Structure 1
Amino acid sequence: MSTTEEARPEGLRARKRRRTENAIESSAVQLALELGVEHVTVDAICERADISRSTFFNYFPSRDDAIVGRAIDIPDGEAAFAVLDSTPDDLPLGLFRLLFAAIGHRSVNADIARDRGRLVAEQYEAGRLMMISILESGYQLDAVAVAWLRAHPEHAKLDSPQRESALALALVHGAMTAQMAEWTAGSGDVSADESDFLRIAADFRRLLGANAA
Structure 2
Amino acid sequence: MTTPRNPKPEGLRARKRRATENAIESSAVKLSLEKGVANVTVEEICEMADISRSTFFNYFAGRDYAIVGRAVDLPDDASAFAILDSAADDLPRGIFRLLFAGMGHTNVNSEVARLRQRLVEEQPQAARMMMSTLMETTYRLTGIGIAWLTSHPEHARTADPAREVSLAVTLVTGVIVVQMRKWAAAEGDVQATEEDFDLVMEEYRIFLP
> TM-score with structure 1 length normalisation?
0.94
> In the TM superposition, what are the counterparts of 1:3-82 in structure 2 within 5 Å?
5-82=5-82
- Report the counterpart of residue 143 of structure 1 in structure 2: 143
1: distance between equivalents of 2:76 and 2:206?
A: 33
2:61 maps to a residue whose letter is: P
Post-superposition Cα deviations, 1:34-91, rounded to whole Å, max 9, x if no partner, equal 0001110111101100111111111111111111111111224111100000010000
- Report the counterpart of residue 154 of structure 1 in structure 2: 154
Counterparts in 2 of 1:78 and 1:72: CA distance versus 1, 3 Å: same
- Report the counterpart of residue 123 of structure 1 in structure 2: 123
- Report the counterpart of residue 192 of structure 1 in structure 2: 192
Identity between Structure 1 and Structure 2 (%): 58
The CA deviation at 1:5 is 2.9
1:118 maps to a residue whose letter is: R
Counterparts in 2 of 1:110 and 1:143: CA distance versus 1, 3 Å: same
1:107 maps to a residue whose letter is: N
1:133 aligns with 2:133: yes
Counterparts in 2 of 1:8 and 1:121: CA distance versus 1, 3 Å: same
The CA deviation at 1:175 is 1.0
The CA deviation at 1:200 is 1.4
Post-superposition Cα deviations, 1:72-113, rounded to whole Å, max 9, x if no partner, equal 112241111000000100000000000000000000011101
Unmatched 5+ stretches in structure 2: none
Post-superposition Cα deviations, 1:129-164, rounded to whole Å, max 9, x if no partner, equal 111100011001000111111100100111100110
> TM-score with structure 2 length normalisation?
0.96
Aligned residues: 209
Q: Is the 8 A contact 1:76 1:144 kept in 2?
A: no
**What is the RMSD of the two structures over their aligned residues, measured on CA atoms?**
1.5
Q: Is the 8 A contact 2:64 2:129 kept in 1?
A: yes
- Report the counterpart of residue 87 of structure 2 in structure 1: 87
More displaced, 188-197 or 1-10? 1-10
- Report the counterpart of residue 171 of structure 1 in structure 2: 171
Post-superposition Cα deviations, 1:161-180, rounded to whole Å, max 9, x if no partner, equal 01101110111011111111
Q: Secondary structure at the match of 2:108?
A: strand
The CA deviation at 1:3 is 9.5
Counterparts in 2 of 1:16 and 1:2: CA distance versus 1, 3 Å: closer
- Report the counterpart of residue 203 of structure 2 in structure 1: 203
2: distance between equivalents of 1:202 and 1:76?
A: 31
2: distance between equivalents of 1:195 and 1:91?
A: 16
1: distance between equivalents of 2:16 and 2:119?
A: 26
2:164 maps to a residue whose letter is: E
Q: Is the 8 A contact 2:3 2:101 kept in 1?
A: no
Counterparts in 2 of 1:92 and 1:151: CA distance versus 1, 3 Å: same
Q: Secondary structure at the match of 2:190?
A: strand
Counterparts in 2 of 1:3 and 1:138: CA distance versus 1, 3 Å: closer
The CA deviation at 1:2 is 10
Q: Is the 8 A contact 2:31 2:40 kept in 1?
A: yes
